[in-house]
Every structure is written in C-alpha cells, then in structure tokens.
Chains A and B, each alone.
Chain A
Amino acid sequence: MLNQKENIIKSNNTINNHKIVIKIEHLKKSFNGNNVLKDINMIVCEGENVVILGKSGIGKSVLIKCIVGLIYPDAGLLKVFGKEVAEMNSRELNILRTRVGFIFQGNALYDSMTVRENLEFPLRRNKTITDPHVIEELIVDALENVGLVDAIDKMPSELSGGMKKRIGVARTLILKPEIILYDEPTTGLDPLTSREISNLILKIQNKYKASSIIISHDLNCSKITSNRMLILHEGIIRAEGTFDELKSSDDEWVRSYFKID
C-alpha cells in the first residue's frame, strides 16, 4: 500500500511509479474566523480509493468541494491533474469538472427532471454527442452499471434512498470521470443497501480505473472500499494508513475510531 512516509517521490507528479492525480499542500480554509482546515497535506494516486474519516462538521466535505472549485481555499496548494485549481479560468474549471465526478451526500438529483433527463443533462452539456441513439445507449449503459435500467422514466421522488444514491452515481459515471469524489455515500441507508453501495464503489474502481476520495463515517464502507485511509481531526490529517494498520494502531485515539460498542 501507498504509505507516504516510506515512499520516495521521484518527481512532482509520480510516487513509486504511481501517477499523482490530486496533490494538496498546507491547505487552509476558514469560515467567519473559524479555522475549519488548518494545514491539510495529502495526495491521491491514479486508480486509488482514499477514505477520509472524521467527526461531523470537521471539514471533510469542505475539502472535497475545494477540489472541484465549489469552495476556494484561503491558502495552500491544491493541484488536480498537475494544475492549480485556484488559478484555473472558468473554461479550464469546466473541463476539470468533466474529469472529476462529485456524488453529493443528498444525491442532488434534479427533482423537476426524470431519471433519463437527469443523466442526459451533463451529457448534452459536456460531450459533443448529438445523436439521440448514442445518448440513449450511454444512459442505458450507465443505468445498467448501477442496476437501475427500469427506473429510467421515473421521477426522483418515486425512488428510494438507495436508488437515488445509485442514480447519483450513474449521473456521475456517464461522463466517465477519472476521479470520483463521494460525499458520505452510505449515510442514511440501511446496512444491506450500504453494503451494496460500497460494493458498487469498488466495482467502479475496478471497471473504470478511477481514483476516488470517499468521505465516510461508515466503517464497513471504509473497509470494503479503501486502499488507504486518512483521519481528519482539528483541521489536519492526524493519521494515515490502511484500514488494518489504523485499526491496530499503537495510538489509542486512532483505535477509538474503530471501536464498536
């Protein structure tokens, strides 16, 4: 596994022959004088699933929103595919956003559109495909990946929580992103559906070779999906390692995250 301390960074963009897709150094962000992110340093390599664990309200979502330019950091370096996000113009940012998918905590499906229209929306705006048959094929393909072809003409209000989550994933997958950011993908779901979503994340990683950052509180999801885990605490990355490494850490505080009462 990729342990930062043991690795030799050969160049700015590779680590142990793995291409770095996200590089964050000394990132800071505050809201109304409240320092949410104090000094974040992390990297994500190509094809790697990184889970970020931490208490609620600690700034995990803020961190991934910075990556797609929804929030701008106060200081520090944030490079995605080797380019500084803060220095991108709106055209470059739009291009970046087609390469980075974002799955929101509340799914953020457009509730005035059907499932088909939800999937069609990013496709028509970002790809040069105009042939309706090709668009239909891509939509069906994305829905097949999440096992919900039957829901194609349904409205989001007719779907269950787990189905909405899958449609959110399908909408992101349709642009074939190279990085996927999951904001608490299993929150509010029953254990069975959570497991299904976790397996889906793993399936996507294997099929599309996409890198992912997964924000989660769910230990089962973290165990299934993670190649590497980070624990965010008081605005810094306090611990880093694989699931098993962190679970059996010498640090009592780190182990406390893995205790089940």
Chain B
Amino acid sequence: MNLNIKKIFRNKAPKSNHKEFDLSQFKNIENFLNEIGGLSRFTGNFFRVLFRPPYEHKELLKQSFNIGLNTLSLIGITGFIMGLVLTLQSRPVMAEFGAESWLPGMVSVSIVREIGPVITALICAGKIGSGIGAELGSMRVTEQIDAMEVSGTNPMKYLVATRVLATTFMIPLLVFYSDALSFLGSYIAVNMHGFISFPLFINQAFDSLHYFDLIPATIKTFFFGFAIGIIGCYKGYFSENGTEGVGKAANSAVVISSLVIFIIDLIAVQLSEVFHIFTI
C-alpha cells in the first residue's frame, strides 16, 4: 500500500512541469500587458508635454521636412506602380462585363478609400517608423538622451513630440501625393489598351468619388501617422542592451506599427459604415 502511494506521488512529478508551462504563458501575457501599459503611459506623457511651452517649432519643421522629403521618391514610385498594376489587373475582368469605361471610377474609389492610405502607411511604417526607432534607440544607448536631459531639455518634448507631430501631419500629405501618382499610373495603364484623354479620365475618376469616400479615408491617415510616430518613438526611447537593442527597437517599431495600421483601418471601416447608415 505504501509503495503504491509512493508510486502515485512519483507519477505526480510531471505536474510541476505543467505548472512551469502555465507560468511561462502568464509571463508572455504579463509582458504584453506591460508593453500596452508602457505605450499608454508614453502616449499620456506625449499629450502632457505637447501643450506646454516652449514649443519646438524649428525641430518640428526640420522633422516634417526630413520625413516628407526622404519618403517622397519611395512613395511616388510605389503609388505610381500601385495605380498601374491595379488597372492592368482589373481591366480583363471589367472587359468581360463590358465595363471598361468604369475603370477610372473603380480604380479611384479603391485607391482613395483603401489601397492608397494603407499601402502608403505601411511603407512609411517601414521607412519612417524604423528610422525613428533606430535613431532614438542609438541616442539612448550612446547616452545622448541623458545628455539632453542633464542640459535642461525635455527629450520627450524635443525628440518625441516633434517626431510624432511630424508623422501625424506628413502621412496624410504623403497619401494625397501617392493617390495622385496612382491616378497617373492608372491613366497610363488605361491608355495602353485604348485611348482616353487625361481630362476625361480625371472627370470619370472624380465623378465616382464622394465626400464620404474622401473624409473618413483622410481622417484615418492622421491616426496612421500618429501610430507610426508614437510606436517608433516608444520603441527607440526605451531601447536597451546596446546595438542589439537598437536593431530590435527598429524591427519591433515596424512590426507593431504595421499591425496597428491594420487594426486602425478595421476600426475606421466599421465606424465609417456606421456613420454612413446614419447619414443616409
């Protein structure tokens, strides 16, 4: 009998492993919640310093200029190709239904409402988000942020607020620019298989667009810009473990902001549908 009890206890040994497994799962959840908490606190601090003087106009202009100018060519090329490819891919299907003349309208609605803002935001997350994460990360590990703090400058205001504001206001402008070049790409693609004058193409494209297409799409780009800026800054600002940490900060800035862009897009689409029902 005693032996059997011992055997039972022995058989219970794997249970401790099971407990360990559970704990590690909790650890992941804890890390995730810590990250959410940290990002929320960081966002709170951003709004706290944003309205307090002194205002860093010069740095804001410098960052806006850098973000806009450095991304212009990349956004231009991808926007142009996006319009071209979308038109070329859609044309055969539209032709089957004899609706080729609807191509400009279909392309303009797709680009303005969804593809333009999301693709541009994702490219900006890759280029601008990683750049901000790496820049602030290397400033953190080389103690430049500490140096700024001990020289009586609030790095949250000088580094973070300026970059987040710059991305928030530059991404919508970049989206407009990308949309415009997409229209150009689409116009060229339409003309590869037929002829349509540019004024007629633009007329048909804008005929299909309503304020309801344009306004929610523009509003969500501000949120995309804010997400890219704040996540890039957060990951860079709290970067640690030397150069390895800088790489991780840049990488996770891109991954998280890309994910957040899709989440914002999903929420924006749902909200705009709800508002659309109410306005009809």
Binding site for B on A (CB under 8 A): 65, 68, 70, 90, 94-95, 97-98, 100-102, 104-106, 108-111, 121-122, 125-126, 171, 175
Contacts and interface: CB of A to CB of B under 8 A. Distances in A.
Interface in B147-179: 147-154
A98 B152 contact: yes
A125 B147 contact: no
Contacts, number: 48
Contacts of A105: 143
B151 A97 contact: yes
B144 interface: yes
11 contacts: A95-B152, A101-B150, A102-B150, A104-B143, A106-B143, A108-B144, A108-B146, A111-B142, A122-B153, A125-B152, A175-B151
Nearest to B154: A90
B143 A108 contact: yes
Contacts of B147: 102, 104, 108-110
Contacts of B144: 108-111
A32 B210 CA distance: 57
Contacts of A70: 146, 149-150
B63 to A, nearest CB: 11
Interface of B: 142-144, 146-154
Contacts of B143: 104-106, 108
A122 to B, nearest CB: 4
Given A108-B144, A121-B151, 18 more contacts: A70-B146, A70-B150, A90-B154, A95-B152, A97-B150, A97-B151, A97-B152, A102-B150, A108-B142, A108-B143, A108-B146, A109-B144, A111-B142, A121-B153, A122-B153, A125-B153, A126-B151, A175-B151
Contact of A68 (B142, B150, B153, B154): B150
Contacts of A121: 151, 153
Contacts of A100: 150
A121 B155 CA distance: 13
Nearest to A96: B152
A171 B152 CA distance: 13
B138 to A, nearest CB: 8
A193 B266 CA distance: 60
